[in-house]
Amino acid sequence: MRTLSYSGLLCILSIAPFTGSLAAPSRSHPHKVKESIVPPRGWVKHSIPSADHTIVLRIGLPQPNFHVLEQHLYAVSDPYHERYGAHLSKEEVERLVAPHQESLDVVDEWLKSHDIKEGELVRSPAKDWVTLKIPVSLAEKMLDTTYSVWKHVESGDELVRTTSYSLPENIHEHVDVVQPTTMFGQFKRFKSTISWPEDSETPPQLKAVATASGVTVDPSCNSTITIKCLQQLYNFVGYTPTSKGNSIGITGYLEEFANSQDLQSFYAEQRPDAVNSTFKFVSVNGGLNNQTLSESGAEAALDVQFAFGLAHPIPGTFYSTAGRPPFKPDVTTPTNTNEPYALWLDYVLSHPNPPFSISTSYGDDEQTVPESYARRVCASFAQLGARGVSLLFSSGDWGVGDNNEDPATQECFTNDGRNITRFIPLFPASCPFVTSVGGTVGINEVAVSRFYSGGGFSDYFSRPFYQDKVVKDHLATIPKGTYKGLYNPKGRGIPDVAAQSDRYRIYWRGRAVLIGGTSASSPAFAAIVSLLNDVRLSKRLPPLGFLNPLLYSKGISGFNDVTIGHNSGCGTKGFNATQGWDPVTGLGTPDFGKLKKLVLPFH
């Protein structure tokens, strides 16, 4: 792989802005279709929004030097590269993703032609995104389109959307994407059903098991997962972080609030040395911090209690991001209808010191997020990776299928009007610049449970180079013709890694409950990454940052391979867990004892 030297980066960063003749104001140019989709399956036109209904419009300008940023991302994330760990600063990243001045000027002229003033705009730090609040009537004029209220037949969710929009011809090359327009995603949390410990069906008890690392796992861990269980399973019993400056973060959406009283109850039971410690709360876009015990979120409780409990005393941050798409469009100014993780990205990219390890347990069916928008959001994740942030995302709980909890009755169809059967990969887990975490269950760690570990292959993103060998090796094990046409064998493979994902004991609304899903796997793995960052920081080394190039090379030997189980969905058994990487559990589950040696420089 060709990479640029650091001096080459400085050269790129100092390039003068593009200057050239500006196109004439956009009103003199006819509109041309920018994006058009077939009405997605399950959505029907319901009504017409009022003309003064407010839309928060996000306009993405091109990032002409993103390929350079990508080169640097891989250089600083490759453990065999001389620049490994030399992460870029916030300012360096912003310069690399900044649009040309011509794009800024042309788009500004277009906005001015619609009487939109500079004071009405919000620009991202790199100026690659422009956000404005406007009535739907003006949005329709600007985009030469007609918005409708669309209703999802099954859920009753409603969205104000269009299936096609246009831009003046002279604007096309200066705008990558405009949303909300064609996005019909149903942003959702990943978790299986909550159960009460006294009512739950207890799996057969096993005798104490010695793991490959020689650590003995208590047999109770087969029915209930605690902090002690994960420490035993993943070989970090007795490890205490000591470095300064480390950090871990959890993202919260959809009015999920992390309750402090529940956290203290959890600490008292499972992490007594953490009692009376807390986390930093950050509100994004008006996100609330409702501490009413009866309104606390199970997802937030799971994420915070295990991520911060496993990583203690590493400082934790919980981000509460407002926004709940879909919404009921029956008021003039609605809740923001863009995907909330885009709002969170806006916020975290604008801050100089985001947490080094961040877990997210939410996502969408990939096909419900327009590819142009998915690529731009994915590029934002790359910016964080280049700055030294490890991003962990749950791979989903429905195997190769959609969010129907019964794999046998899932209807997995394409969203492009063809309505052909297709496996349903998830986004953002399918982005090649994040680490996707699948699920296992039981002391013997198999890839099957009350739900199925999300996995498969992206239809948007091609297979990244770091996955090339292991994915090809796995594809060679699949009998020829199996699932032909149901997945993209050239796509980015999901997940990358796995961890325990069922029967986690947490405190929720004042009571102990069991909860699971890859919602549990991701924060647990993020905590282990945070501990690995402690190993490096204690040696005065930078944090790990984007993990995947390390995991798929030097780090492979630090994982316990999972070879039993599958991930049913779409009326099929899905893929099998096999020797080596597989689209069920990825590379396997972590062995901290091995990884803490592998994350240090060669001797």
Give CA–CA dist 389/258, Å, rounded: 23
Which positions are catalytic?
Answer: 299, 303, 519
Domain ranges in the chain?
A: 6-14+30-183, 189-330+383-598
Give CA–CA dist 266/43, Å, rounded: 42
Beta strand 248-252 with 357-360 is parallel
Distance of CA 227 to the CA centre of its chain: 24
Q: Are 251 and 362 in contact (CB under 8 A)?
A: yes
Q: What is the model's pLDDT at position 417?
A: 75
562 is in an annotated binding site: yes
CB neighbours of residue 43 within 10 Å? 22
Question: Can you state the angle between helices 66-77 and 6-13, rounded to 10 degrees?
Answer: 150
5 burial type by CB count under 10 A (0-12 exposed, 13-18 middle, 19+ buried)? exposed
Give CA–CA dist 431/381, Å, rounded: 8
Tell me which fold the domain 189-330+383-598 belongs to.
Rossmann fold (3.40.50)
Residues present in the chain in total? 603
Q: Which residues of the chain have pLDDT under 70?
A: 1-28, 186-213, 323-340, 402-411, 449-450, 603
Q: What is the model's pLDDT at position 188?
A: 57
Structure tokens at 433: 């610049």
Structure tokens at 14: 């100092």
Candidates 258, 319, 261; CA nearest to 286 is: 319
Give CA–CA dist 90/391, Å, rounded: 16
pLDDT per residue as tens digits for the range 507-535? 999 999 999 889 999 999 999 999 999 99
Q: What is the model's pLDDT at position 407?
A: 52
Query: What residues pair up with 413 in beta bridges, in sequence order?
Result: 421
517 is in an annotated binding site: no
Query: What residues pair up with 320 in beta bridges, in sequence order?
Result: 252, 283
Phi and psi at residue 514, to the nearest 5°: -105, 140
78 is in an annotated binding site: no
Q: What is the model's pLDDT at position 452?
A: 83
107 is in an annotated binding site: no
Q: What is the model's pLDDT at position 207?
A: 59
Phi and psi at residue 281, to the nearest 5°: -100, 130
Q: What is the model's pLDDT at position 79?
A: 97
pLDDT per residue as tens digits for the range 152-200? 888 788 889 999 999 999 999 999 999 999 988 766 555 545 665 655 4
* Single-letter amino acid code for the residue at 526: A
Query: What residues pair up with 152 in beta bridges, in sequence order?
Result: 43
CB neighbours of residue 64 within 10 Å? 14
Q: Where does residue 417 fall: left (phi above 0), alpha (psi -120 to 50 degrees), or beta otherwise?
A: left
Taking the alpha carbons at both ends of the chain, their separation in whole angstroms is 25
Give CA–CA dist 544/537, Å, rounded: 10
